[in-house]
Amino acid sequence: MAVHERFAPLPESAAARPAELEEALVAAWRAEGVFESLQAARKDAPRFVFWEGPPTANGKPGIHHVFARAIKDAVCRHRTMLGRLVVRKAGWDTHGLPVELGVEKELGISGKPQIEAYGVARFNARCKESVWRYKQDWEKLSERIGYWLDYADPYVTYDDSYVESVWHLLARFHRAGLAYRGKKVLPYCGRCGTGLSSHELGQPGAYKEVLDPSVHVRFKVVGSARGESLLAWTTTPWTLPSNIALAVHPQEPYVLAKIYLPVQKGAEKGSAGTELAWIAKARAQAVLGAHEVVEERLGRELAGLSYQPLFDAEVPCVDPGAWKPDTSALHKVWTAEYVTTTDGTGIVHQAAAYGVDDWEVARRNRLPVKQAVGAEGRLVVDVAGVPAGTFFKDADEALSEDLKRRGLLFKKAKEPHSYPHCWRCDTPLFYYAAPAWYLRTSSMKQRMIELNREVRWIPPEIGSGRFGEWLENNIDWNISRDRYWGTPLPYWTCDGCDAEESIGGKDELVLKCGRLPDAFDFHKPSIDEPTWPCAKCGGTMRRTKSVLDCWFDSGAMPYAQWHWPFGAGRAKAEAQYPADFIAEGLDQTRGWFYTLHAIGTFLQSLPDAGLPPGPPYKACLVNGLVLDKDGVKMSKRLGNIVDPWQAVSEHGADAVRWYLLSSGATHLPKRFDPAGILEVRRKHFGTLVNSWKFFSDYARLGKGFDPARPAPIHERPEIDRWLASRTQSTIAEVRARMDDYDLAGACRALEQFVGDDLSNWYIRRNRARFWKGEWTADRDACFHTLHDALRAAALLMAPLAPFLSEAIWLRIAPGAGSVHAQLLPEPRAELLDHELEGAMRLVVRLVEMGRALRERAKLGIRQPLRAIHVRASDARALELLRTGFAAEQVLGELNIKAIGSLAADDGAVCSLKAKANFRVLGKKVGGLMKSVAATIDALPAEAAARLRSGVAVPIEVEGRTIELAPEDVEIRVETSGAFDVETDGRLVVWLDADLDEELLGEGLARELNSRVNALRKESGLGVEDRIALHLEADGARLAVALQRHAALIQAETMAASLGALASAPAGATRCRLDFGPEGRVEVAFKKLG
RNA sequence: GGGGCAGUAGCCUAAUCUGGUUCUUGGCAGUCGGCUUAUAUCCGACGUAUUGCGGGUUCAAAUCCCGUCUGCCCUACCA
């Protein structure tokens, strides 16, 4: 890596325009092949296996991709810095409907007929090409945000080798008996001749308000002496010829009511006689009006009743595939939980071919499936005088007429409701059972659930909740899509006898059909050409027309990315299996996370697959969606999309990454607020940049400093040993959090270390040591201490903020290579000092209280005070505060001359008060809690003191004596108000606020220093510039102060000389400072040299 | 329709699993003050919350239970 002068300053723009520094690093990393050589160096190291989920490159990357990539990058970099080889192979998801739709739009065509007319070969060629439209965007953005990925050798799901591996997997499923042909009920467009995905159904305008028939129909019960019928309701009369059953709710009450049969127009109601009909009790009033109930039964008691079909047409049955139909189950009443009584009659007509719920009822009860309307949306047989070929919507009227003539139509009306239409051609859709291939994943359900228990989910509730429940309700996986651009299913079927064969690779295909043409391609249409004679019947084996669900493609990546199990791919895949870690968005739970899990679980069961036991991935970190700053989902329509490029170029990738990783819980929806990034930049990165500036400025001046020769730790002052200890604790904490995938926790620990400890305490308190006087051991010590802290910060931050950490690292260890190639330091136990850290926490508390006291007393920090008094209720705290270190820190920070007194709290200054500890006492006294608490509240201070010293105290409550143990109460300290006291409950602090002339004078001198220094700065003087200072006081006390503290003033203002105003040279900066009631000081100074 | 997650000040957020008294934590933005020639931060003081709403369990509910409303996510789409 680029070699800088040791301790070189960061570029001026590092804080204001971080993008400049980052872009330079991106270029340097690329030019020097840092990632590649790091990977080469780790070649033989133990692996940490990471799998990259493939994005589709036919859309631009968004800010949520930056989020997921920041997570993945941070974890991978961390593991690399632990010495592991982390293979980071890029991948592209290239198949699927969204790609096809994009191309259709581009070509200005729509629907399958038009694609066929355009030519499938040309169409697929366009698809293949279109996938790479945004490849550059992805690669550039990834590089820019520091997401290291091997883009030179990505896996691409349309590659022949990838497809061949997928074929192998699909053939294994088939040969294991886990792939079968069935039907799937899906929304279908008769005109386009294709099923629509739910995604297409979600297109705007798909659902339209239409007026549909609403008919009540009577189904006559077979073998009823009383002439009963079942009253059913439907809005799709065209499905009635395909009726196979009626469904009732098992727990719902139904009534047998007397109804008047329909009459011809003009005839008197009831003249056609009456009949008995079943209807849900809850619907009887609404449907029948006034009626007479003959009998009442629960739904499940109706189950099994047989009825006469409405039409006698010979309606063809289709093979459902998923079950063997039982014809004796036909035309009976079955129960189904989904039946409601909010509308209709509570008796639902079942046409399995045209409804998903109906299909489910048929599957459970092994019903045959009748299908009177075919794929084109037209009747396939003559029904009741309606000729075959009639469009389904047009059959409604004619069929209703027929039923009316035969007296089976009880009621007819038109009802408005929303109905789906094809978003391309506006044709009303119908639900249709289309042929499909399934994987019998439900047979592996138990195994999948067991393996899922071994997955470390972050957060855990995704694994047990969303994902676990999805597995519990697992249904077979429909893997076929009636489209063009996808992995072709490697399943051939015989057009004569229905035999099936699966093909697990190119060689197998060649064996079957002889030589393949030179220009052969593993996609449609050329893949549909090879055929061969059926071994059983001599018919022709042809490939199933469909292509594969592209989710299978992505779930196959652990194997297919290496061309497993062919050739060298076998070993490569085994070396990268299982994954130690994957991470994607929550929306992948039922997508990639599931498909990986399902395919992996299946392969486990194959003895010859050679894969180790256990789940395919061991840890899965899930991130939530990224919303806009108001919590609204980002969408083009609302125009609230955050452009990742804009955010990154404005704030820098480090700040964007840090913001995304550190704010809120990873898995919850995240609001993306630019103000938050700005805060991260200012507080964290700004502070770090400034800390480096401070260190580098002085380290380059301090010629005596050599980081290779550290000052022995025990010879350094306590404040240094404290920061050294904090450095080590931070190393330990950040490592532990990163190991545990708690990226936000690691960020927090680093923010605290850099912002609070390193910068705002250590540097601030020790500034003078860095520049004052000769090169001494003490001066050497502070450089080493700060150097080591900054070095650790750079290393620890590297996985999270790869740029700034690199920039600092290259200046702290020139020639050592990239920070990302380093090993993370181990915490050094010999530098840890818990006592010192504890003492410092107490110091901080005391200082805070001291400042509060000063505030109230209106005593600015520049006014020295005589003494501070401390009482501590905890012996351990007292001991820590007695160290010279603690005293020195408190006094220095608060500008106080001495510790006036430091003693155990005797309750004399503040009164002790006991408060009930509800958590403990509640269990003991239960219902008496309220009175017990009141009694404790009223306890005298003397009793509280006894309790605090560990003695039990009996109390009387409602006639009962209760022995109060020390752990039953909390002792608090309350201020009495005699003089101003501050307490946090454990420490009591007050100030000696008496000021004498001496203190007042010093205060004035310090005030003057501050004002003069402000003037120096205003007039553009540098820190090291020396001045000639001339002063004249107007005010007695001021005059004395100037005289007495002349040396201090000279030292603090870098004044080489101090003289009277009268002797000020020409051209000196002059100013009159107002000290209120104390008077004024005339100042003149001039830069020397 | 089914399943899940969430609702705490003007805004964000902790505490919710495992109930406790912590007059609800921290931050942002606001006002006032302090420290500091590292100008990036930092420190102190000052509001505003019947913890979405309504019930219940309990000595005790932000927390557990029931209902309800709102938002989001996933999934399905109804005779």
Q: How far is the CA of A733 from the C1' of B60 (A)?
A: 37
Q: State the pLDDT at residue A856.
A: 79
User: Is residue A970's beta carbon less than 7 angstroms from any atom in nucleic acid strand B?
Assistant: yes
pLDDT (mean) for A748-772: 88
The CA distance from A602 to A581, in Å, is 20
Q: Is residue A489 part of a domain?
A: no
C-beta within 7 A of nucleic chain B, residues 924-963 of A: 926-927, 929-930, 933
Q: Which of A29-43, A327-341, A597-611, A994-1008 has the highest mean pLDDT?
A: A29-43
Nucleotide nearest to A348 (CA to C1'): B79
Q: How far is the CA of A852 from the C1' of B46 (A)?
A: 14
Nucleotide nearest to A234 (CA to C1'): B79
The CA distance from A690 to A694, in Å, is 6
Nucleotide nearest to A336 (CA to C1'): B79
User: Is residue A220's beta carbon less than 7 angstroms from any atom in nucleic acid strand B?
Assistant: no
Nearest to A309 by CA among A248, A398, A372, A355: A372
Q: State the pLDDT at residue A726.
A: 93
A292 and A330 share one domain: yes
Q: How far is the CA of A856 from the C1' of B45 (A)?
A: 9
Q: State the pLDDT at residue A32.
A: 94
- Whichever domain contains A362, its CATH number is 3.90.740.10
Residue bearing the bigger pLDDT, A279 or A282: A279
Q: A1036-1065 as b/e, with b when 16 or more CB fall inside 10 Å?
A: ebbbbbbebbeeebbebbbbeebeeeeebe
- Show the domain range for A412: 195-430
A1035 and A946 share one domain: no
User: What separation in angstroms does the CA of A969 have from each of A908, A928, A954?
Assistant: 20, 15, 13
Domain end (from A367, A396, A430):
A430
Q: How far is the CA of A834 from the C1' of B24 (A)?
A: 32
Question: Phi and psi at residue A430, in whole multiples of 5°?
Answer: -135, 155
* Token representation of residue A903: 């003693």
CB A976 within 8 A of CB A946: no
A928 and A1008 share one domain: no
Cβ neighbours for A1005, distance < 8 A, ≥ 6 positions apart: A1041, A1042, A1044, A1045, A1048, A1049
Q: How far is the CA of A873 from the C1' of B41 (A)?
A: 34
Pairing mode, strands A1055-1060 and A1027-1034: parallel
Whether the predicted pLDDT of A488 surpasses 90: yes
Q: State the pLDDT at residue A354.
A: 82
The CA distance from A494 to A181, in Å, is 13
CB A209 within 8 A of CB A416: yes
A224 and A328 share one domain: yes
Whether the predicted pLDDT of A140 surpasses 90: yes
CB A534 within 8 A of CB A496: yes
Residue bearing the bigger pLDDT, A947 or A731: A731
Q: Which residue has the tokens 């003057």?
A: A1008
Q: How far is the CA of A746 from the C1' of B60 (A)?
A: 37
* Token representation of residue A402: 């027929």
Q: State the pLDDT at residue A423.
A: 64
User: What separation in angstroms does the CA of A787 have from each of A8, A284, A733, A752, A808?
Assistant: 13, 86, 20, 18, 11
Q: How far is the CA of A849 from the C1' of B42 (A)?
A: 16
* Token representation of residue A442: 């439900």
Number of domains chain A contains: 3
pLDDT, tens only, A1032-1062: 888 888 999 888 998 888 888 888 888 888 8
Q: State the pLDDT at residue A629.
A: 62
pLDDT (mean) for A1064-1072: 85
Q: How far is the CA of A340 from the C1' of B67 (A)?
A: 21
Q: What percent of chain A has pLDDT over 90?
A: 33
pLDDT, tens only, A1004-1034: 999 888 888 888 887 878 777 888 899 988 8
- pLDDT-based confidence at residue A472 (cuts at 50, 70, 90): confident
Q: Which nucleotides of chain B are near protein (any atom < 7 Å from a CB)?
A: 3-6, 12-14, 20-22, 27-29, 33-45, 58-60, 71-79
Three-class HEC string of A123-158: HHHHHHHHCCCCHHHHHHHHHHCCCCCEEEEEEECC
Pairing mode, strands A619-623 and A582-585: parallel
A340 and A228 share one domain: yes
Whether the predicted pLDDT of A424 surpasses 70: no
A952 and A1009 share one domain: no
pLDDT (mean) for A213-220: 88
Nearest to A731 by CA among A812, A828, A813: A828
Q: Which residue has the tokens 């993370």?
A: A824
Q: Which amino acid is at A1036?
A: A
A235 and A369 share one domain: yes
Q: Is residue A655 part of a domain?
A: no
Whether the predicted pLDDT of A151 surpasses 80: yes
A258 and A395 share one domain: yes
User: Is residue A686's beta carbon less than 7 angstroms from any atom in nucleic acid strand B?
Assistant: yes
Domain end (from A395, A430, A465):
A430
Question: Phi and psi at residue A248, in whole multiples of 5°?
Answer: -125, 160
pLDDT, tens only, A319-362: 777 778 888 989 999 988 778 777 788 898 998 888 877 888 88
Q: Is residue A1044 part of a domain?
A: yes
User: Is residue A506's beta carbon less than 7 angstroms from any atom in nucleic acid strand B?
Assistant: no
Nucleotide nearest to A930 (CA to C1'): B59
Residue bearing the bigger pLDDT, A839 or A669: A839
Nucleotide nearest to A682 (CA to C1'): B40
Nucleotide nearest to A763 (CA to C1'): B38
- pLDDT-based confidence at residue A363 (cuts at 50, 70, 90): confident
Which own/partner contact pairs does A1080-1083 have at CB distance under 8 Å and 24+ positions apart?
Answer: A1080/A1033, A1080/A1034, A1080/A1035, A1080/A1038, A1081/A1008, A1081/A1031, A1081/A1032, A1081/A1033, A1081/A1034, A1081/A1035, A1081/A1038, A1081/A1042, A1082/A1031, A1082/A1032, A1082/A1034, A1083/A1011, A1083/A1012, A1083/A1015, A1083/A1029, A1083/A1030, A1083/A1031
User: Residue A532 is inside which H or E element, if any?
Assistant: strand A532-533
- pLDDT-based confidence at residue A142 (cuts at 50, 70, 90): very high
Q: A674-693 as b/e, with b when 16 or more CB fall inside 10 Å?
A: eebbeebbeebbbbbbebbe
* Residue with CA nearest to B33's C1' atom: A855
Q: State the pLDDT at residue A203.
A: 54
- pLDDT-based confidence at residue A794 (cuts at 50, 70, 90): very high
Give the single-character DSSP code of A464. I
pLDDT, tens only, A242-263: 999 999 888 888 999 988 776 7
pLDDT (mean) for A638-655: 82
Residue bearing the bigger pLDDT, A475 or A492: A492
Q: How far is the CA of A365 from the C1' of B61 (A)?
A: 48
Q: Is residue A848 part of a domain?
A: no
User: Is residue A986's beta carbon less than 7 angstroms from any atom in nucleic acid strand B?
Assistant: no
Q: Is residue A958 part of a domain?
A: yes
The overall average pLDDT reported for chain A is 86
A924 and A1019 share one domain: no
User: Is residue A760's beta carbon less than 7 angstroms from any atom in nucleic acid strand B?
Assistant: yes
Nearest to A985 by CA among A910, A1085, A931, A1056: A910
The CA distance from A168 to A552, in Å, is 12
Nucleotide nearest to A1012 (CA to C1'): B37
Kindly report the number of other CB atoms within 10 A of residue A917's CB atom: 17
pLDDT, tens only, A82-93: 999 999 999 999
Give the single-character DSSP code of A484. S
C-beta within 7 A of nucleic chain B, residues 1014-1053 of A: 1016-1017, 1021-1023, 1025, 1052-1053
A269 and A413 share one domain: yes
User: Is residue A47's beta carbon less than 7 angstroms from any atom in nucleic acid strand B?
Assistant: no
C-beta within 7 A of nucleic chain B, residues 869-928 of A: 915-919, 922-923, 926-927
Q: How far is the CA of A445 from the C1' of B50 (A)?
A: 49
Residues of A annotated as catalytic are 54, 93, 551, 588, 592, 633, 636
Q: Is residue A554 part of a domain?
A: no
Nearest to A1045 by CA among A1084, A1072, A1012: A1012
What Rg do the C-alpha atoms of chain A give, in angstroms? 41
User: Is residue A759's beta carbon less than 7 angstroms from any atom in nucleic acid strand B?
Assistant: yes
Q: Is residue A321 part of a domain?
A: yes
- Residues facing A1060 on adjacent strands: A1031
C-beta within 7 A of nucleic chain B, residues 803-822 of A: none
* Residue with CA nearest to B14's C1' atom: A664
User: Residue A855 is inside which H or E element, if any?
Assistant: helix A834-857
Nucleotide nearest to A698 (CA to C1'): B38
Whether the predicted pLDDT of A704 surpasses 90: no
pLDDT (mean) for A936-964: 81
Tell me if residue A431 falls in helix, strand or coil: strand
Q: How far is the CA of A669 from the C1' of B69 (A)?
A: 21
The CA distance from A1011 to A1029, in Å, is 13
User: Is residue A342's beta carbon less than 7 angstroms from any atom in nucleic acid strand B?
Assistant: yes
CB A452 within 8 A of CB A574: no
The CA distance from A166 to A160, in Å, is 10
pLDDT (mean) for A293-322: 87
- pLDDT-based confidence at residue A110 (cuts at 50, 70, 90): confident
Q: Is residue A290 part of a domain?
A: yes
A232 and A272 share one domain: yes
* Residue with CA nearest to B35's C1' atom: A861
C-beta within 7 A of nucleic chain B, residues 516-545 of A: none
Whether the predicted pLDDT of A1064 surpasses 80: yes
A969 and A1081 share one domain: no
Pairing mode, strands A626-627 and A670-671: parallel
The CA distance from A995 to A307, in Å, is 107
C-beta within 7 A of nucleic chain B, residues 246-275 of A: 247
Q: What percent of chain A has pLDDT over 70?
A: 94
Q: State the pLDDT at residue A847.
A: 86
pLDDT (mean) for A55-83: 89
Q: How far is the CA of A596 from the C1' of B54 (A)?
A: 45
Question: What value, to the nearest 5°, has the Cα angle with vertex A1015 and ends A1010 and A1018?
Answer: 125
C-beta within 7 A of nucleic chain B, residues 476-505 of A: none
Q: How far is the CA of A653 from the C1' of B36 (A)?
A: 30
Q: State the pLDDT at residue A260.
A: 79
pLDDT, tens only, A902-914: 888 776 777 777 8
Alpha carbons within 13 angstroms on the beta-carbon side of residue A937 total 7
Nucleotide nearest to A675 (CA to C1'): B28
In DSSP notation, A788-837 reads HHHHHHHHHHTTTSHHHHHHHHHHHSTTS--GGGSPPPPP-GGG--HHHH
Kindly report the number of other CB atoms within 10 A of residue A241's CB atom: 25
Cβ neighbours for A1047, distance < 8 A, ≥ 6 positions apart: none
C-beta within 7 A of nucleic chain B, residues 606-645 of A: 625, 631-633
Cβ neighbours for A486, distance < 8 A, ≥ 6 positions apart: A95, A96, A547, A548, A549, A550, A553
